[in-house]
Amino acid sequence: SQTIHQWPATLVQPVGSPLSLECTVEGTSNPNLYWYRQAAGRGLQLLFYSVGIGQISSEVPQNLSASRPQDRQFILSSKKLLLSDSGFYLCAWSSSEYTDTQYFGPGTRLTVL
Amino acid sequence: DAKTTQPPSMDCAEGRAANLPCNHSTISGNEYVYWYRQIHSQGPQYIIHGLKNNETNEMASLIITEDRKSSTLILPHATLRDTAVYYCIVRVPLRYGGATNKLIFGTGTLLAVQP
């Protein structure tokens, strides 16, 4: 069966510091990968998605970037965090088959102070 | 912008069926309706999805109206562990003919199951 991991689970960072969040998927090959962000009391917003190694598409302009160095690894980064980057970050995967479902990881709660 | 409208909250007695409504009047012909739920501080959990026909799995049933402008998620025997925010979502394709898709989340319905 497939599993998705995210770390760290929680993170408190000062404004202006760098960020690196990691997501890995097990039990599948060539997944589609997604990064979502959830602001307090709101639904999830898609930030980035990837259909393969080195292929990243951005959905919204922002202070963040994403990379996919390996088939089942997806990284969310920032060079300098802003207060507005605080939120709950969720990674999801789906099969590369058409109409397949997205499955979410446990999330990382980021607080920027 | 979310393509669905849901009531902000609902109550349900434990052991009774929970019926969660959703309006998606602007849905397009190739867009699926998905339901997820999120327990506080956890990642969303997939429940069920459908395009035109009613669907049932071990967790729930999904009833989609013939015009596809609304749907209802049914939890047949709600338990306290079903207390969560339930999201009705329209899934839209990100690339024509591709397999990547985007879930457009709204603010969901907070279902409170009462003992």
Three-state DSSP at B44 gives: coil
**Prior bond to A8 cis, omega within 30?**
yes
CB A12 within 8 A of CB A111: yes
pLDDT, tens digit (0-9, with 9 covering 90-100), for A50-90: 989 999 988 887 889 999 999 999 999 999 999 999 999 99
CB contact under 8 Å between B107 and A103, yes or no, is: no
Nearest Cα residue in chain A from B102 = A46
Q: Enumerate residues 6+ apart whose C-beta is below 8 A from B44.
A: A44, A90, A104, B36, B37, B38, B87
In this prediction, residue B2 has a pLDDT band, given cuts at 50, 70 and 90, of low
pLDDT at A23 over 90: yes
Q: What is the mean pLDDT of chain B?
A: 91
* Alpha-carbon gap, residue A86 to A64, rounded angstroms: 12
CB contact under 8 Å between A46 and B103, yes or no, is: yes
Mean pLDDT is lowest, of A24-33, A37-46, B65-74, B83-92, for: A37-46
Nearest Cα residue in chain B from A88 = B41
In this prediction, residue B34 has a pLDDT band, given cuts at 50, 70 and 90, of very high
* Alpha-carbon gap, residue A87 to A4, rounded angstroms: 19
CA–CA distances in Å: residue B8 to residues A43, A108, B32, B87, B88: 12, 25, 22, 10, 12
In this prediction, residue A24 has a pLDDT band, given cuts at 50, 70 and 90, of very high
Query: B87 at the A interface (CB within 8 A)?
Result: yes
pLDDT for the residue numbered B1: 61
pLDDT, tens digit (0-9, with 9 covering 90-100), for B52-77: 989 999 999 999 999 999 999 999 99
Q: Enumerate residues 6+ apart whose C-beta is below 8 A from A95.
A: A28, A31, A32, B99
State which amino acid sits at residue A26. Answer: E
Q: Two tokens at B19?
A: 């019926």
Q: Two tokens at A35?
A: 């990064």
* Alpha-carbon gap, residue B28 to B44, rounded angstroms: 24
Scanning B47-66 for CB atoms below 8 A from A yields 49
